Amino acid sequence: MSNTTTKGARLGTKKLDMQKLLAPMALVILYILFSIVGENFFTWHTAENILQASYYIGFMAFGVTFIIITGGIDLSLGTVMMCSALLGGYSFKVLHLPMYVSILVTIFTAVAFGFLNGILIAKLKLPPFIATLGTQMMSAGLGSILTKVQAQTWPPVTDPTGGWFKKIFVRTKLFDFLPIGAVWLLVFFIIAALILHKTKLGRYFYAIGSNEEAARLSGINVDNWKIAAYTLSGFFVGMAALFYAAVYSTITPGVGQGQEMHGITGVIIGGTSMAGGSGTMVGSLIGVFIMSTLKTGLSACGLQAQWQTFFTGLVVIGAVLLDIYRTKTASKVKRS
């Protein structure tokens, strides 16, 4: 082999490192920009708002990161989250179950849907897009059926039996300044990152997303690991449901479609490839923060929700274009 190839490889790696810095840089630049042009943006209160807006989207994004890295997709995130939160609220309010059972019902519902997605995709070989489109509708319907299309309200902080729910998830500040929700998010980010980057499980996700057939021929039980990815994602969706309930209290049946796109968008902005096999957990965290900063910042500039949607769309296209451009230049050098 000539050293041309070697040089090309080194160059490729350098480009990759640049890409890693791109998302954090974008976040910092956005933050500074809004601090200059936005009203009252550069305050701790605003930062708290940004964090709070990131909770449930963050958990969804962590979950779906696993899935996207295996080369799959989950369109049922949003409705499964809503369905879980509905059933949890229903368990407490209508069935009068204890709060901890309701929390378990919420998590269990999401995990069950994740597992179902996994079975449909890995064992019954449905394309992920189709399988999760189906479960998206099923979960939306199920939530409405079981609650008889009644909105479910999770108890307020003052509730004697269930009030602690909000306290432990959102209504507490650690050391009087750090919102407890941010601590939860951070802890689960670390857990998700450890799973993805430091365990066999994570390594198999990358392998499957990178080249499923090669992984299979290497003796990896591809089907089981895929089910694991969807089930694990289900758990994170369950966490997202708890935070959605804790922040918004009232869950209305029939909504939730479209929420999955917030989670997926965060992952994409964070540099994870939809083709599978590459991406990082920290990227997804930053991607979610970029979206929340955009949302909070634009409203600090007096722009309404429709502008947030518009700009988020712009950021998605920009982020993916950059990624395509980078891959192209890297492979051009490689082929020489």
Q: Distance between CA atoms of 322 and 253, rounded to whole angstroms?
A: 38
Binder to another protein among 32, 37, 94, 214 (CB under 8 A)?
214
Cβ proximity of 92 and 155 under 8 Å:
yes
For residue 171, how many other CB atoms are within 10 A of its CB? 16
Name which of 12 and 134 has its Cβ closer to another protein.
12
Site for another protein in 3-22 (CB under 8 A): 4-13
Q: Which region, judged by CB under 8 A, interacts with another protein, from 85-93, 167-175, 210-218, 314-322? A: 210-218
Cα dihedral across residues 155, 146, 138, 107: positive or negative:
positive
Name which of 101 and 320 has its Cβ closer to another protein.
320
Q: Which region, judged by CB under 8 A, interacts with another protein, from 106-114, 146-154, 238-246, 328-336? A: 328-336
Question: What's the closest the beta carbon of residue 205 comes to another protein, in angstroms?
Answer: 11
The count of residues interacting with another protein (CB under 8 A) is 38
Q: Across the strands, what pairs with 173?
A: 179
Residue 320 interacting with another protein (CB under 8 A): no
CA dihedral 31, 35, 36, 37 (to 10 degrees): 90
Q: Distance between CA atoms of 76 and 112, rounded to whole angstroms?
A: 12
Q: Which region, judged by CB under 8 A, interacts with another protein, from 133-141, 175-183, 206-214, 226-234? A: 206-214
Binder to another protein among 148, 175, 176, 213 (CB under 8 A)?
213
Q: Which region, judged by CB under 8 A, interacts with another protein, from 57-65, 158-166, 216-224, 237-245? A: 216-224
Write the DSSP string, 200-237.
HHHHHHHHHHH-HHHHHHTT--HHHHHHHHHHHHHHHH
Name which of 32 and 214 has its Cβ closer to another protein.
214
Binder to another protein among 66, 154, 206, 230 (CB under 8 A)?
206
Cβ proximity of 69 and 230 under 8 Å:
no
Structure tokens at 213: 């057939």
Q: β-strand 173-174 against 152-153: which pairing, if any?
A: unpaired
From the number of C-beta atoms within 10 Å of its C-beta (0-12, 13-18, 19+), residue 264 rates as: buried
Place of tokens 């189906």: 134
Site for another protein in 269-288 (CB under 8 A): 277-278
Q: Which region, judged by CB under 8 A, interacts with another protein, from 76-84, 108-116, 136-144, 196-204? A: 196-204
Site of interaction with another protein (CB under 8 A): 1-2, 4-13, 198-201, 203-204, 206-207, 210-211, 213-221, 277-278, 332-336
